[in-house]
A and B are shown apart, each in its own frame.
Chain A
Amino acid sequence: MIKSFTDWLVYGLAGLSAGTHFSDAVHFFVYDTIKIGLLLVLITFIMGAVNSYFPVEKVRKFLSSRQLYGGQYLLASVFGAATPFCSCSSIPLFIGFLQGGIPLGVTFSYLITSPLVNEVALALFIGLFGWKVTLIYAGSGILLGTMLGLVLSQFGLERYVESWVWDVARQQTGRSVLLVKNPRFIERLPGILREAGAIIRRIGLYVLLGVAIGGAIHGYVPTGYFQQYLTASNPLAVPVSVIVAIPMYANASAAIPIMEALVTKGIPMGTALAFMMAVVGLSLPEAMILKKVMRLQLLGIFFGAVGGSIILLGYFFNVIL
Chain B
Amino acid sequence: MTIKILGTGCPNCKRLEANTKKAVENLEVDAVVEKVEDIPSIMKYGVMSTPALVIDDIVQFMGRVASSDEIAGLIKSQIPGLTP
Contacts and interface: CB of A to CB of B under 8 A. Distances in A.
A56 B46 contact: no
Interface stretch (A71-79, A92-100, A219-227, A262-270): A92-100
B80 interface: no
A92 B40 CA distance: 9
B15 to A, nearest CB: 10
Interface string A74-110: 0000000000001011011101110100000000000
Q: How large is the interface on B (under 10, 10 to 19, 20 to 34, 35 or more residues)?
A: 20 to 34
A205 interface: no
A2 to B, nearest CB: 32
Interface of A: 51, 55-57, 60, 86, 88-89, 91-93, 95-97, 99, 164, 167-169, 171, 173-179, 191, 194-195, 198, 292
B40 A88 contact: no
Nearest to A164: B40
A91 B49 contact: no
A168 B49 contact: no
B28 to A, nearest CB: 24
A51 B44 CA distance: 22
A261 B42 CA distance: 44
A88 B58 contact: no
A89 B44 contact: no
A22 B59 CA distance: 55
A167 B62 CA distance: 23
A95 B8 contact: no
B10 interface: yes
Contacts of A60: 48
B49 A179 contact: no
A93 B9 CA distance: 15
Nearest to B54: A176
Interface of B: 7-10, 12-13, 39-40, 42-50, 54, 57-60, 62-65
Contact of B49 (A56, A99, A167, A176): A56
A177 B49 contact: no
A178 B49 contact: no
A89 B45 contact: no
Given A55-B63, A176-B59, A96 B44 contact: no
17 contacts: A55-B49, A55-B62, A57-B46, A86-B49, A88-B9, A89-B49, A91-B8, A92-B39, A96-B46, A173-B43, A173-B44, A176-B46, A176-B54, A177-B59, A179-B60, A194-B65, A198-B65
A95 B39 contact: yes
A2 B69 CA distance: 39
Contact of B45 (A88, A176, A179): A176
Nearest to B67: A194
A191 to B, nearest CB: 6
Contacts of A168: 39-40, 43
B46 A173 contact: yes
